[in-house]
C-alpha cells in the first residue's frame, strides 16, 4: 500500500464539514491498511458507509468477489440516497457524488490489481506480448486517475477521499506528482502538519535530522523534486534561512548532475525541475536582499538566466527575468545611468 494511514476517528465513519465521505480518520495521512477499519460498525453518515468500508477491507485482503458484492450493495443504497442529498445542500450532495466516484475507483483498483497479477504470471510464463499489454493498461489507468483527480474540487477532503482508495494498490512513490499537489493543497488550506507528513513520507526520511553538508540536507535526497517541495514548504512556514540554505545545496546538486549529463557520465535532471529550482533560488535571493548590490544583481540574474536556459518555453521564468531586469534598470537609473542601459532590452 501507500504507507501508514491515520488512526480512525472514534464514534463514526470519517466525515468533515464539507460533507465529503472520508475513507480514513481525521487529519491522518492517507494510506492503505488499518486506517480503513475505523468506520465499520460505527455511526453511519451515508447509507453506503458500512458496505463501502467492508468493500475496502475485502480489497485490502484480496477478497475481490466479496468486495464486488459490497460495492454493488453500496451503489444500490447510494442511488436511493442521492436524490435526498441533492435537496439538502450542495456540500452534502457533492459528498454523495464523491462516494459514487470512490465506488467506481474501488472497482478500478480491483482491475488494476488483477492486471498486475496477470502481468506477473505472464512474465513467469514468458508471455511477453500479453504482459506488455497488461502493463500498458495499468499505465492508462494511472493516467486516467491523474486526469480525474485534477478535475475535481481543489479541496483537501475530496482529494484525500480519492487518494485513499488508490493507495490500496498504488504506492506513493509511483504517483509523486499527485502527492506533491496534495501536499501543496494541504499547505494552502493551512494544514501544514499534514503537508509536512506527506512530504516526509515521499522522501522516506526527515531532512531536519540532516546537518548542513551531509547527504539529505538539500543535495543527496534521492528525490530532488520532493526536496524542492520540502524547501518551499519550509519557506512558507517562515523558516526562510533554513529553506534558502537547503535550496542552495539542492541547486548545487542539480548543477553537478547537468554537468555530468553533458559529459555523458550521468543522467540528466528534468529540465523543468532545474528551471523551477533556479527560479525559486533567484526569487528568494531577491526577497532576502536589503538592496540591489552588485552581488545580489549577479546572483539573481544568474539564477533566472539558468531557469530560462533550462526550460526556454516556460513563460513564468521569462516573466521574472524581465521583471528583475526592470527593477535593476530602475535602480541603476538613479545611481549609475550608464549601467541601466544594459537592462533595457531584457526588461522588455
pLDDT digits over 153-173, tens only? 899 999 999 999 999 999 999
Show which of 261, 283, 306 is a domain's final residue. 261
Cα(91)–Cα(75) distance, integer angstroms: 19
User: Which triple of cell numbers denotes residue 237?
Assistant: 512556514
**What does the pLDDT look like over 219-270, one tens digit per residue?**
999 999 999 999 999 999 999 999 999 999 999 999 999 999 999 998 999 9
What is residue 39's predicted lDDT score, i.e. its pLDDT? 32
Cα(10)–Cα(79) distance, integer angstroms: 27
Going by C-beta distance under 8 Å and a sequence separation of 6 or more, which residues neighbour residue 126?
none
Q: Check whether 210 has a pLDDT greater than 60.
A: yes
Whether residues 19 and 74 fall in one domain? yes
What is residue 79's predicted lDDT score, i.e. its pLDDT? 81
What is residue 317's predicted lDDT score, i.e. its pLDDT? 96
pLDDT band per the 50, 70, 90 thresholds, residue 332: confident
Average pLDDT for residues 97-111, to the nearest whole number? Answer: 93
Instruction: Please indicate whether residue 174 or residue 25 has the higher confidence score (pLDDT).
Output: 174
Strand-pairing partners, residue 218, are 220
Q: Check whether 125 has a pLDDT greater than 70.
A: no
Q: How many structural domains is the chain composed of?
A: 3
What is residue 334's predicted lDDT score, i.e. its pLDDT? 74
Q: Check whether 84 has a pLDDT greater than 80.
A: no
Least Cα distance to 191 among 226, 236, 228 occurs for 236
Cα(16)–Cα(105) distance, integer angstroms: 21
Under DSSP, is residue 36 helix (H, G, I), strand (E, B) or coil? helix
Using CA atoms, how far residue 298 sits from 18, 164, 179, 329, in Å, is: 49, 46, 35, 14
Let me know: does 231 contact 220? Beta carbons within 8 Å: no
Average pLDDT for residues 184-193, to the nearest whole number? Answer: 96
Q: Check whether 13 has a pLDDT greater than 90.
A: no
Cα(56)–Cα(67) distance, integer angstroms: 7
Show which of 261, 296, 327 is a domain's final residue. 261
Whether residues 135 and 25 fall in one domain? yes
What is residue 291's predicted lDDT score, i.e. its pLDDT? 82
Cell 528534468 -> residue: 270
Whether residues 37 and 84 fall in one domain? yes
Residues constituting the chain? 348
- What pTM value is reported for the model? 0.81
Average pLDDT for residues 188-198, to the nearest whole number? Answer: 97
Whether residues 274 and 306 fall in one domain? yes
Q: Check whether 278 has a pLDDT greater than 80.
A: yes
Q: Check whether 3 has a pLDDT greater than 50.
A: no
Instruction: Please indicate whether residue 178 or residue 28 has the higher confidence score (pLDDT).
Output: 178
Show which of 120, 148, 170 is a domain's final residue. 170
Whether residues 245 and 334 fall in one domain? no
Alpha helices (runs of H) in the chain, residue ranges in sequence order: 49-61, 64-88, 90-124, 128-150, 156-166, 176-188, 192-203, 224-236, 240-262, 271-287, 294-310, 315-335, 337-340, 344-347
Cα(247)–Cα(217) distance, integer angstroms: 9
What is residue 132's predicted lDDT score, i.e. its pLDDT? 72
Whether residues 197 and 323 fall in one domain? no
Whether residues 277 and 214 fall in one domain? no
What is residue 292's predicted lDDT score, i.e. its pLDDT? 81
Cα angle 130, 135, 139; round to 5 = 145
Using CA atoms, how far residue 126 sits from 19, 131, 136, in Å, is: 49, 9, 17
pLDDT band per the 50, 70, 90 thresholds, residue 127: low
Whether residues 111 and 76 fall in one domain? yes
Average pLDDT for residues 143-160, to the nearest whole number? Answer: 93
Mean pLDDT across the chain, nearest whole number? 83
Whether residues 249 and 143 fall in one domain? no
DSSP state of 62: T
Task: Determine which of 34-38, 102-106, 232-236 has the lowest per-residue pLDDT on average.
Answer: 34-38
Please state, as a whole number, how many other Cβ atoms lie within 10 Å of the Cβ of residue 71. Answer: 24
User: Which triple of cell numbers denotes residue 262?
Assistant: 553533458
What is residue 338's predicted lDDT score, i.e. its pLDDT? 61
Task: Determine which of 77-86, 222-231, 291-300 has the lowest per-residue pLDDT on average.
Answer: 77-86
Q: Check whether 45 has a pLDDT greater than 60.
A: no
Average pLDDT for residues 52-72, to the nearest whole number? Answer: 95
Whether residues 122 and 255 fall in one domain? no
What is residue 133's predicted lDDT score, i.e. its pLDDT? 83
Cα(112)–Cα(101) distance, integer angstroms: 16
Let me know: does 19 contact 155? Beta carbons within 8 Å: no
What is residue 37's predicted lDDT score, i.e. its pLDDT? 38
Cα(170)–Cα(109) distance, integer angstroms: 9
Whether residues 9 and 92 fall in one domain? yes
Q: Check whether 311 has a pLDDT greater than 90.
A: yes
Strand-pairing partners, residue 220, are 218
Domain carrying residue 304: 270-348
Whether residues 144 and 239 fall in one domain? no
Amino acid at each position: 500500500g501507500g504507507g501508514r494511514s491515520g488512526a480512525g476517528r472514534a464514534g463514526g465513519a470519517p466525515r468533515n464539514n464539507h460533507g465529503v465521505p472520508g475513507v480514513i480518520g481525521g487529519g491522518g495521512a492517507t494510506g492503505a491498511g488499518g486506517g480503513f477499519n475505523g468506520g465499520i460498525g460505527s455511526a453511519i453518515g451515508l447509507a453506503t458507509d458500512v458496505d463501502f468500508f467492508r468493500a475496502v477491507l475485502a480489497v485490502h485482503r484480496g477478497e475481490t468477489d466479496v468486495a464486488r458484492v459490497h460495492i454493488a450493495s453500496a451503489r444500490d443504497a447510494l442511488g436511493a440516497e442521492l436524490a435526498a442529498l441533492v435537496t439538502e445542500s450542495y456540500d452534502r450532495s457533492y459528498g454523495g457524488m464523491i462516494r459514487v466516484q470512490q465506488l467506481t475507483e474501488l472497482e478500478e483498483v480491483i482491475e488494476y490489481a488483477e492486471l498486475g497479477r496477470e502481468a506477473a504470471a505472464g512474465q513467469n510464463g514468458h508471455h511477453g506480448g500479453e504482459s506488455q499489454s497488461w502493463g500498458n493498461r495499468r499505465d492508462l489507468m494511472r493516467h486516467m486517475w491523474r486526469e480525474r483527480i485534477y478535475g475535481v474540487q481543489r479541496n483537501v477532503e475530496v482529494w484525500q477521499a480519492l487518494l485513499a482508495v488508490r493507495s490500496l494498490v498504488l504506492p506513493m512513490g509511483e504517483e509523486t506528482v499527485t502527492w506533491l499537489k496534495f501536499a501543496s493543497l494541504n499547505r494552502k488550506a493551512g494544514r501544514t502538519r499534514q503537508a509536512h507528513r506527506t512530504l516526509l513520507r515521499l522522501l522516506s526520511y526527515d531532512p531536519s535530522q540532516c546537518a548542513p553538508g551531509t547527504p539529505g540536507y538539500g543535495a543527496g535526497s534521492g528525490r530532488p523534486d520532493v526536496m524542492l517541495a520540502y524547501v518551499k514548504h519550509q519557506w512558507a512556514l517562515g523558516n526562510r534561512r533554513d529553506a534558502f540554505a537547503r535550496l542552495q545545496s539542492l541547486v548545487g546538486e542539480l548543477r553537478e548532475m547537468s554537468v555530468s549529463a553533458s559529459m555523458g557520465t550521468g543522467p540528466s535532471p528534468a529540465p523543468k525541475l532545474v528551471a523551477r529550482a533556479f527560479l525559486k533560488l533567484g526569487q528568494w535571493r531577491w526577497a532576502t536582499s536589503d538592496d540591489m548590490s552588485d552581488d545580489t544583481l549577479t546572483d539573481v540574474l544568474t539564477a533566472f538566466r539558468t531557469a530560462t536556459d533550462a526550460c526556454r518555453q516556460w513563460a513564468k521564468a521569462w516573466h521574472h527575468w524581465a521583471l528583475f531586469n526592470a527593477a535593476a534598470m530602475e535602480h541603476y537609473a538613479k545611481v549609475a545611468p550608464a549601467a541601466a542601459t544594459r537592462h533595457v532590452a531584457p526588461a522588455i
